[in-house]
Amino acid sequence: MKITMAHGSGGKSSAQLMSDIFGKYFKNEILDRMEDAAVLDVSGKIACSTDSFVVTPLIFSGGDIGKLCVCGTVNDLLMMGAVPKYITCGFIMEEGLETGLLDKIVESMARQAREAGVVIVAGDTKVIEGNGGLYINTTGIGEIPAGRNVSSSNCEPEDVVIVSGNLGDHHACILSHRMEIENHIKSDCAALNDVVDSLFENSINVKTMRDVTRGGLGTVLNEIADSSGCMIELNEESIPVDDEVRGFCDILGLDPLYMGNEGKMIAVVSGKDADKALEAIRNTKHGKNAEIIGTVKTGSGAYIKTRLGATRRFDVLYGEGLPRIC
């Protein structure tokens, strides 16, 4: 069966789709009430983040748009030191979307939400003309435990920059699909609860956390240097990249510094906690390949010490990147 404009009417066809697919996987006490808005109990400071996902193809090696949107939003909440609690989803479906495909994506979304500890509390569906595409918006709400203060503006000289694992996998995976290149590269799409929890459980002095998505490490570090009024210096040799991804990049002239990831983050921590933090992260499922990749210094901008011993400044990504990577 395919999605038609009638599924976007708000009438019987919409309700049918709701119970046949969304209800089947998303069923929970809050959604079951079918009100105009969900009623939630929260306390203290909350974090709130929104993201739209337009990735193509909808299903890729290592994930799909449903898994991706939950991970992306959960990670944004985690990066503020919040414990992710609730998520909303808005589906914009193009006419012609196969309901079998939609079913798989919704199932994957529900599974990832359970894994990441978030409850899907509100949703909306719309249908537009088109050719079977799908866009999903997710908005997340998390609670920030008292005493946590993580912000892009907190970095100070002598802090160190840790990356949670290999860079470039998601970007290389999506590009491989588009170019119909066969390889073993999988998207790193993952919710990073375990990595973040490991830092707080080990009482690490965490200054800043950022997931390394669209725009890549280069963009993220420039933004942090700017917000904190510091200089960040990377050591190119320590940046972890999987061998197959490295080969892929070499052939296509891609720089892992600007490639998007969906299950990688950087943490800037106090220099004295560096080794302890690295060990904590490496003991998690999603942080096995973590590395210390740089240091914060007095000054401004982002610099990289290259393999050849030179030091050069790098800027944020300019222009295209990879369209519709997330």
Shortest distance (Å) from residue 265 CB to its own copies: 10
Looking up tokens 């479906």, which residue turns up?
93
Shortest distance (Å) from residue 99 CB to its own copies: 17
Smaller CB distance to its own copies: residue 249 or 266? Answer: 266
Shortest distance (Å) from residue 279 CB to its own copies: 25
**Which residues lie below 8 Å from residue 149, measured CB to CB, with a gap of 6+?**
81
Shortest distance (Å) from residue 266 CB to its own copies: 12
* Residue 179 · residue 277 · CB < 8 Å: no
Smaller CB distance to its own copies: residue 9 or 183? Answer: 9
Site residues for its own copies, window 26-65 (CB under 8 A)?
33-54
Site residues for its own copies, window 233-292 (CB under 8 A)?
258, 260
Residues 238, 243, 245, 248, CA torsion sign: positive
Phi, psi of 47, deg, nearest 5: -110, 145
Smaller CB distance to its own copies: residue 67 or 210? Answer: 210
Alpha-carbon 281 to chain mean position: 17
Measured distance CA(119)–CA(102) in Å, rounded: 19
Shortest distance (Å) from residue 152 CB to its own copies: 6
Q: Which amino acid is at 106?
A: V
Selected binder of its own copies within 3, 22, 67, 76 (CB under 8 A): 76
Site residues for its own copies, window 127-186 (CB under 8 A)?
127-128, 135, 137, 139-142, 144, 151-153
Contact call for residue 6 and its own copies (CB under 8 A) = yes
Q: In the structure encoding, which two tokens stand for residue 321, read together?
A: 């990147």
Site residues for its own copies, window 77-136 (CB under 8 A)?
77, 79-80, 82, 86, 88-92, 121-128, 135
Q: In the structure encoding, which two tokens stand for residue 2, read together?
A: 């395919």
Selected binder of its own copies within 5, 20, 145, 272 (CB under 8 A): 5
Measured distance CA(288)–CA(195) in Å, rounded: 10
Smaller CB distance to its own copies: residue 165 or 216? Answer: 216
Residue of 315, 284, 275, 306 whose CA lies nearest to 162: 275
